[in-house]
């Protein structure tokens, strides 16, 4: 009938395992958050470069190739464990804030045929 409570030694072992797992996950989250911040800075730099090239009439289609390089580092970071499930939600939030900061980035640019088919936001 009644459930038997685990011994104090067993409880302490559970607590220690829980604490070490929590510490490990917090370290992973911290590393992933740092990676996200670095990628957001890199993305802002790439967007500024892209806008600068567009305003000068430079070769804008070269940009998607350079933007395609950062994702392998994020995919390896996300493949580390179940903590990667939080990634898409965070990216969704940052995509909304980016469109608020850069309204011109979401509108199609005349003369850039690649822009309407594959915007950089979806390539991330």
Instruction: Note the pLDDT tens digit of each residue in 23-68.
Output: 999 999 999 999 999 999 999 999 999 999 988 875 545 545 554 4
Q: Do the domain assignments include residue 46?
A: yes
Q: Do the domain assignments include residue 67?
A: no
Distance of CA 64 to the CA centre of its chain: 17
Q: What are the residues whose beta carbons fall under 8 Å from the beta carbon of 83, sequence distance 6 or more?
A: 25, 28, 29, 32
Q: How many structural domains are present in the chain? A: 1
Residue 1: pLDDT band (50, 70, 90) is: low
Write out the two tokens for 93.
């939030």
What's the Rg (C-alpha) of the chain? 22
Instruction: State what percent of residues in the chain have pLDDT above 90.
Output: 38
More confident residue, 1 or 117: 1
Q: What integer pLDDT is reported at residue 76 of this predicted model? A: 46
d(CA 74, CA 108): 27
For residue 39, what are the domain limits?
7-58
CA separation, residue 30 to residues 6, 33, 40, 85, 104 (Å):
34, 5, 15, 15, 32
């Amino acid at each position: 009938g009644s459930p038997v409570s685990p011994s104090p030694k067993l409880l302490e072992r559970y607590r220690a395992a829980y604490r070490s797992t929590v510490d490990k996950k917090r370290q992973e989250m911290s590393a992933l958050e740092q990676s996200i911040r670095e990628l957001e800075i890199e993305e802002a730099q790439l967007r500024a470069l892209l806008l600068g090239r567009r305003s000068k009439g430079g070769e804008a289609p070269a940009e998607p190739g350079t933007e395609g390089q950062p994702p392998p580092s994020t995919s390896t970071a996300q493949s580390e464990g179940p903590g990667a499930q939080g990634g898409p939600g965070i990216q969704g939030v940052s995509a909304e804030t980016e469109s608020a900061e850069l309204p011109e980035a979401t509108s199609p640019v005349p003369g850039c045929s690649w822009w309407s088919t594959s915007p950089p936001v979806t390539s991330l």
